[in-house]
Amino acid sequence: MEARDAVNTIKDERIINCDTKGQYFLGKLTAINPYLRTIIIGKNNDVWCSSLAGNSLAIIGKITPPQHPLDLVEVTANDKKKTKQPILIYRVALDDKVIFITISDAYLRSILDSSEIEMNASIIVNDLSLQSRGPLSHYKEIPTWYNKINSIKHPFIISYQPSKFINFSRMFHQGGVMILLMIITFLGVMYLVKYVLTKFYSLTESLRKAIVRGEIVPYYQPIINCQNGKIYGVEVLARWEHKTHGPISPDTFINLAEKNGLIIKLTNSLMKQVSLDINNDKFKKRADFHVGINISAQHFKSENFVHDCKIFKSSINDENITIVLEITEREELIINNILKNKLTTLYNEGFLLALDDFGTGYSGLSYLNDIQVDYLKIDKSFVSKISNDSNSLVLLNSVIDLAQRLSIKVIAEGVENELQVSYLRKRDIMLMQGYYFSKPVPASKLLDMIT
């Protein structure tokens, strides 16, 4: 502003000659304006008049035409120490002349230091910036997240570090938005984890209670002997009719029970209920009835497994009932001597063993190698491939071949239509289970089916 005023004064005064009077006039202007260092009027790239005695240039090296109205430059003061001195040059064209006014850096720095402007303020002109301390630096060295104010009238920018408190623009530039997103995501995940855990625990808790209260009940899916069309036996399938959640699929709660160590309790509870259901006269009248029960790997591994099975068998106490333990491949069962000894004991007690979901797991074949298996249950995914397209039957046929070569009885699971029945029969598979014959049914319904 002082420089502009000075220019206006010079314009008003219309210095025609750079005589002593003219020089005095310029010298007086700088003398009364503490912020103005020198005033130089240039003409044809040369000094025409200067506020310094003898029209000298002092610290401005060369008079150049005004490409920029403002310039920050660093000049070496003409002393022995050669200290560098930043100054601001203000240029204004006046007719055939150019007025140069140099403004003291002390003045600029005092503004930058003032408390009205926030931290680390600097003034940027063209590519250079002047801070409240130190030499000129390059504009690019100023952090990008600093706030910047452009002067409307003049080509300079004031930049400053925004307040230390939350500032989105700075956060954005400092990767803060990422941090914010991470916090939001974290909170979201925490909420979800809490939600899932609460739900999981409440479900686990209600499963635990349901087992104790006997609310997990056995359903029975008939296995049909297609040679005579009679019921060969059943597979016990757990069902949970939850009062508030409605029927819960075994896929869900068996998994949950396996994860929470509840599966053994669950199976033992089912065994108890099955024995009560089967101790019915209708079964007593039948010869040979197969009762398949799913056993998880955990249960096989448990110390009490043989004991649990023996209790089950003794509570049925029927010579005609054959209990078949179905091993699923859902959890890996490591076959070692302890397991082999348990199985031998159970064989001696009259139990049989079935490999469930055969062909879907990873260890079925190795089981066949190491333990005696009485039944192979071909998984429904193979049976469902039986259609008019015989190309999809390679795997099914291989599994059947394998079973027959090993002289293991085969039960086909998930039989849903006549085509499948006739195909399986052609392949000498006589034991079938599936919706084509019956869905899993409660005990009362099973009793009705058994004549």
Q: Which is nearer to Mn ion, 7 or 278 (CB)?
A: 278
Q: Which of residues 421-450 bind ligand G (CB under 6 A)?
A: 433-435, 440
Q: Which of residues 272-331 bind ligand G (CB under 6 A)?
A: 294, 296, 328
> Minimum distance between the CB of residue 219 and ligand G, rounded to whole angstroms?
7
What SS3 string covers the chain?
CHHHHHHHHHHHHCCCCCCHHHHHHHHHHHHHCCCEEEEEEEECCEEEEECCHHHCCCCCCCCCCCCCCEEEEEEECCCCCCCEEEEEEEEEEECCEEEEEEEEHHHHHHHHHCCCCCCCCEEEECCEEEECCCCCEEHHHCCCCCEEEECCCCCEEEEECCCCCCCHHHHHHCCHHHHHHHHHHHHHHHHHHHHHHHHHHHHHHHHHHHHHCCCEEEEEEEEEECCCCEEEEEEEEEEEEECCCEEECHHHHHHHHHHCCCHHHHHHHHHHHHHHHHCCHHHHCCCCEEEEEEECHHHHHCCCHHHHHHHHHHHHCCCCEEEEEEECCCCCCCCCHHHHHHHHHHHHCCCEEEEEEECCCCCHHHHHHHCCCCEEEECHHHHCCCCCCHHHHHHHHHHHHHHHHCCCEEEECCCCCHHHHHHHHHCCCCEECCCCCCCCEEHHHHHHHCC
Residue nearest to ligand G (CB): 434
Q: Which is nearer to Mn ion, 2 or 356 (CB)?
A: 356
- Contacted by 116, from Mn ion, ligand G, none: CB < 5 to 8 Å by type: none
> Minimum distance between the CB of residue 306 and ligand G, rounded to whole angstroms?
17
Q: Which of residues 375-394 bind ligand G (CB under 6 A)?
A: 377, 380
Q: Which is nearer to ligand G, 29 or 396 (CB)?
A: 396
The answer to the question of residue 356 lying near Mn ion (CB under 5 A) is: yes
Q: Which is nearer to ligand G, 105 or 329 (CB)?
A: 329
> Minimum distance between the CB of residue 410 and Mn ion, rounded to whole angstroms?
14
> Minimum distance between the CB of residue 326 and ligand G, rounded to whole angstroms?
6
Task: Kindly determine how many residues on this chain lie close enough to bind ligand G according to the rule CB under 6 A.
Answer: 25
Which of 141, 251, 303, 418 lies at the binding interface for ligand G (CB under 6 A)?
Answer: 251
Name the one range near ligand G by CB under 6 A: 143-151, 181-189, 250-258, 419-427: 250-258
> Minimum distance between the CB of residue 355 and Mn ion, rounded to whole angstroms?
10
Q: Within 10 A of 315 (CB to CB), how many other CB atoms are there?
A: 15
Which of 2, 326, 329, 379 lies at the binding interface for Mn ion (CB under 5 A)?
Answer: 326
> Minimum distance between the CB of residue 191 and Mn ion, rounded to whole angstroms?
38
Which of 33, 104, 221, 294 lies at the binding interface for Mn ion (CB under 5 A)?
Answer: 294
> Minimum distance between the CB of residue 440 and Mn ion, rounded to whole angstroms?
11
Residue nearest to Mn ion (CB): 356
The answer to the question of residue 254 lying near ligand G (CB under 6 A) is: yes
Q: Which is nearer to Mn ion, 262 or 324 (CB)?
A: 324
CB-based contacts of 138-144 (< 8 A; 24+ apart in sequence)? 143/173, 144/173
Q: Which of residues 178-197 bind ligand G (CB under 6 A)?
A: none
Per CB under 6 A, residues contacting ligand G are: 221, 237-238, 249-251, 254, 263, 267, 270, 294, 296, 328, 356-357, 377, 380, 413-416, 433-435, 440
Per CB under 5 A, residues contacting Mn ion are: 294, 326, 356
